[in-house]
Amino acid sequence: MKRRNVIVGLSAFAGAITFPALLAAQPTPDQLLAPGALPEKSFGSEGAPVTVIEYASLTCPHCRTFHVNVWPEFKKKYVDTGQVRFIMREFPFDPRASAGFMLARCSGDDKWYATIDLLYRSQDNWARVSDGTAALKSMMGMTGMDTARFESCLQDQALLEQVAAVAEAGKSFGVDSTPTFFVNGEMRKGALSLEQFSEIIDPLVAEGNQ
Amino acid sequence: MGAHNFKTKLTVRLLALATIASSTLTLTPLAYSQDSEILARVNGNEITAADLAIAEEMYEQQLGQMPEDAKRSVLVDALIELRIISDAARAAGTTDQDAYKRQIAFFEAQTLRSVFLEQRVASAVTDAAVRAAYDEQAGKIPVVRERRLRHILLQKENEAKDVIEALKTGQPFAELAKERSADDVSKANGGDLGFVAEGQTLPEVDAAAAALKPGEFTQEPVASAFGFHVVMLEEERNRPAPPFETIAPQIRQALEGAEEQRIISEIRSGAEVEKLIPDVSPPQTEDGHDH
């Protein structure tokens, strides 16, 4: 209880500094799309009629489910066809998730998504084992990241703070669980199926095409 | 101040009683030569090693980490004080007071509850019951296919082709992994990735491994965002259920919890209960995850 109060307190505090207008109501699409602490990781056309923002954590099982089972079809149906611009944002719930997000950022732009994908797929092998660091290191070996780079990446305090700032911004928009999606600004909590997404997105696409 | 003290002591005793119930069978961290060994005298009354053993259980949670001899000394001090004050209280007639009787009745009820439930639960949750629950759960675990893989990562496609050629001439995979792999983690283990469940590694590596038979390696480099992989399948199997020994304690705990609830509701159903204040649920605590 106490810890939760601290967290809520902190996010409200951060919100008060960075997003004074957002505390009360649902954020507007413009506010949601304002530049954050890290470069945006987005898929699809900037001119797409629908924008989906995902806040997810690499250690969260539901987020893995979305990424492995729904995202590939979603991408094919909506992103590759220019109907949806999809943005992935970091919302780590624990130090391991932060570490995973940092490692993906350290892998470089060309390997960022492949690293995120590998870490989601291999989640059982590093997120819930006793020696998380060793497991993450061994997993990152598959990407060719060597031990020195692995260690320097995880010691990058500035990067850690940037990842945390992305999550803090998410909290100020009302995100408190993962995955959380914003579909043209409308908040949807939980891992939606492709059908559930279609129900929300199809009318918006039709509207946008008129 | 008095109220605060009472509350603190109550907490201490509640904790202590909870500890007694759960640890009667798992005695005793401090080893004493003889239960009758006399450790102190207070107004002619003896404090023995048996008293110390109870005190240790009672106060274990408050003691934390300290050397055994210090622990022994602190506990004997506590027993001495307890005896002095309780003797004084008896002499002052405290045992005749209602406040005292109410507390004793409360502690007695609590002790009766834990001793009774513990005995009933223990006789229901036998080793055989734990084994049967394990067998049942192990049978329900979905089948997961897993493969023990070896892996070499190379930056360039022709490097990967060279490695494949070398493998074809019979050079051991582990040796080549050590010499050539850009993956310096698996390099150290001769490329060994251990058992990897289907769907839990790079999709390209997963798909290539699925096409191999044990002992075979990929005949072409496997391209991914990270470079070119050479993959060897050592062994393929269905993931074994976790061994009985590792999960038996959790199973036992779950069965005991369920049995305790069953006993409680059985007895409760035969009791006449009138709760004269409204039912109010405490506020939910969230951990932030969407489960």
CA quadruple B177, B182, B188, B193: dihedral positive or negative? Answer: negative
- Give the integer Cα–Cα distance in Å for B29 and A103: 45
Return the structure tokens found at B80. Answer: 């001495």
| Type of residue found at B44 | G
Does A128 reach chain B within 8 Å, measured CB to CB? no
For chain B, what is the largest distance between any 2 Cα atoms, rounded to a whole number of angstroms? 96
The string of pLDDT tens digits covering residues B258-271 is 999 999 999 999 99
Q: What is the ipTM of this complex?
A: 0.82
The mean pLDDT value of chain B amounts to 86
Q: Please tell me the distance in Å from A143's CA to the nearest CA on chain B.
A: 5
What distance, in Å, lies between the first and last C-alpha atoms of chain B? 44
| Type of residue found at B115 | V
The string of pLDDT tens digits covering residues A116-171 is 999 999 999 999 998 999 999 999 999 999 999 999 999 999 999 999 999 999 99
> Among partner residues A93, A147, A191, which is closest to B288 by beta-carbon distance?
A93
Of A81, A179, A87, A96, the closest CA to residue A132 belongs to: A96
- C-beta separation of B190 from B178 below 8 A: yes
Query: Whole-model pTM?
Result: 0.68
Q: B196 has which bridge partners? A: B147
- C-beta separation of B168 from B176 below 8 A: no
Residue of B226, B239, B287 to mutate, interface with A, max A Cβ within 10 Å: B226
Which pLDDT does position B26 carry in this prediction?
37
The string of pLDDT tens digits covering residues B108-132 is 999 999 999 999 999 999 999 999 9
The string of pLDDT tens digits covering residues B239-250 is 888 889 988 999
Q: For each of chain A's 210 residues, which pLDDT tens digit applies?
A: 333 332 332 333 333 333 444 444 578 778 888 889 999 999 999 999 999 999 999 999 999 999 999 999 999 999 999 999 999 999 998 999 999 999 999 999 999 999 999 999 999 999 999 899 999 999 999 999 999 999 999 999 999 999 999 999 999 999 999 999 999 999 999 999 999 999 999 999 988 776
Task: Give one DSSP letter per residue of B218-249, joined into a string.
Answer: -SS-EEETTEEEEEEEEEEEEPPPPPHHHHHH
Does A60 reach chain B within 8 Å, measured CB to CB? yes
The string of pLDDT tens digits covering residues B194-210 is 999 999 999 999 999 99
- Give the integer Cα–Cα distance in Å for A24 and B192: 53
- Give the integer Cα–Cα distance in Å for A202 and A50: 9
- Give the integer Cα–Cα distance in Å for A134 and A54: 28
The string of pLDDT tens digits covering residues B31-71 is 445 778 999 999 899 999 999 998 998 888 888 888 889 99
User: Does the pLDDT at position B231 exceed 90?
Assistant: yes
Return the structure tokens found at A33. Answer: 């799309």
Which pLDDT does position A25 carry in this prediction?
56
| Type of residue found at B222 | V
